[in-house]
Structure 1
């Protein structure tokens, strides 16, 4: 468990943030620029000492009352927005610098190089790397310092879209392969949806909410649901592949989704992202349609915004499955006389897949 609470004024900015999140997986600190995300990360690293602070990492106390563990004694790997590699050293020398700083070797060079695909870059001077390559090397160096906690401060914000798409699969591989907890700062909801298990939502120096990302994305009390393009993420497992049609089936709480691609092996985990704008509703199962995914669901509620409704659902005829959102017109809502608690069939026009060996592109199945 990661338990953090920091309070104090920095110039004209007041931070009063507290949260408790699992000590494993990826936790995203998300919110608009200037809300205090990086300040919290620097306080966790010990680079900033807040007037009032409490920090416990998986049972180890790093800050509490008069106790303050200095930065060099905290088992932290820190990846900044800029890679900050030594320009006069090769990639291999930069990586070995991380090893020299550690007295133990829980994560080996070979493992890191394989996970991040760095082997072809070994002899290259770091100044000759692309932005995405530099960040991969910086992440590798941080991992080789043998951290008990990895801090990542908007590591993709300085990259162009091509470089982001290049590095995201490597971050997903790290997530799947390593047990080190990660605190990941971002103001890009697409990154958060793709990578995070847990979300800490920040606003103006405070924590608005903290919890599993599927729950917070569909929470009507939070602004995430009211974004122009809201979506949900659902974690499931591959249960069947159909090579003849190039399809796979993924079991999720409350149903089974048919998606494009051979996503085996069976039993492997996959994350599914479903945009609300790609979900339509009907009272009966669809017939004579190219859409393959039509799952029963119960309406939990609906939130009007102008001439549209964001409908909150739970998959399964009993309404106990995964959360789902549908963005429909108010006319459709009234024409079908929909109401809370009613059974409908959610027709999914498109899904996006992410996860271990994730497929980043939008995949239509119709």
Structure 2
């Protein structure tokens, strides 16, 4: 999929996406041109010039400000959108259920909270039946639990081929969990574009994120558990050939998704409900939740600690954590260094990465170096 969007003095973006990509995340600094890109794609700017390889008939856009019609209630807003809906549009019932706003149908617009209004705006856009949906920070006021459930609903539509979704967000964890590809915009240009995990690692370096998150992929195990007495709300996931434990809440958002890129190529996983195979899942692990164990030989003998999960890894980089500060408003920002270092780890026999944030003291005490084999132990996500 090729896209070129140009808006004088605002955006000049060249984007190349894999044909199978349906959920595309867009991020970058404030003022970089992300919203201008969407306004150009949605044809709401007269000066915009757009060349694209898709043949979609209808494009929907939802901004951070919901822009609902105030003269009618929620049901009325949905009915107005339904008047000119595409033949393949979802029903009102399906849209409000997927956007968690069934209970808001009779509410007047001025009584909605910011998050409620955003949910209604997304449902209204879906009722209109777009082939492409552009979400410009449209879920920013929604709590994380509901937000990710809505992303899951949208992702299901993308996997089924009913929708292609472009999502602008500054929440990198959200984008990492759901995006097939990630686009990074800065200074009116697209500087990074491609596999989500690859782009994400470059974004962390570019933005100097002190405590990044890694997103691991695996398959949910369906077999019964006999060695763990209490598994309520906890799922077993196989990652790189090793069993880890994850809360059901952390992975429920991403079941039945297409797999992310592996080795710069995309492989579409069939629906596990159709082939009865294990469900592909993603879950995020924050660097601050990862500890390093140099006792590689004791991989399976950590029963005396509360940390459940362990994965064998190799240290590929060790970088000091940057802290940016300024003395006053007029002074230039100066980079200072904190008391921690960030380790990048690659899983054994796999290309997936983890991050660990540890102190300089631990780095020295354990005598850690690039190339060392270690065990990454992390808390229950």
TM range (shorter): 0.7 to 0.9
Are 2:73 and 2:108, in contact at CA under 8 Å, matched by a contact in 1? yes
TM-score w.r.t. length of structure 1: 0.79
25, 28, 45: which one aligns with 2:25: 28
**Structure with greater strand share of residues:** 1
Which residue of structure 2 lines up, in the alignment, with residue 283 of structure 1? 294
**Cα deviation, residue 350, structure 1:** 4.5
Q: Distance in 2 between matches of 1:194 and 1:48?
A: 31
Are 1:91 and 1:124, in contact at CA under 8 Å, matched by a contact in 2? yes
Are 2:89 and 2:126, in contact at CA under 8 Å, matched by a contact in 1? no
Q: Distance in 2 between matches of 1:260 and 1:168?
A: 15
**Cα deviation, residue 122, structure 1:** 2.3
**Cα deviation, residue 16, structure 1:** 2.8
Which residue of structure 2 lines up, in the alignment, with residue 236 of structure 1? 218
**Cα deviation, residue 196, structure 1:** 3.0
| Superimposed CA distance per residue, residues 284-307 of structure 1 (whole angstroms, 9 cap, x where no aligned partner) | 136321211111112222223445
Are 1:28 and 1:198, in contact at CA under 8 Å, matched by a contact in 2? yes
TM-score w.r.t. length of structure 2: 0.76
1:71-220 to 2 correspondence within 5 Å?
74-157=57-140, 159=141, 163=143, 165-178=145-158, 179=161, 180-219=163-202
Q: Secondary structure in 2 aligned to 1:6?
A: strand
Q: Secondary structure in 2 aligned to 1:218?
A: helix
Q: Which runs of 5+ in 1 are unaligned?
A: 63-73, 352-366
Are 2:86 and 2:130, in contact at CA under 8 Å, matched by a contact in 1? no
Moved more, 323-332 or 239-248: 239-248
Note closer, same or farther for the CA distance 1:115–1:273 as it changes in structure 2 (3 Å cut).
Answer: same
**Cα deviation, residue 194, structure 1:** 4.5
**Cα deviation, residue 130, structure 1:** 2.4
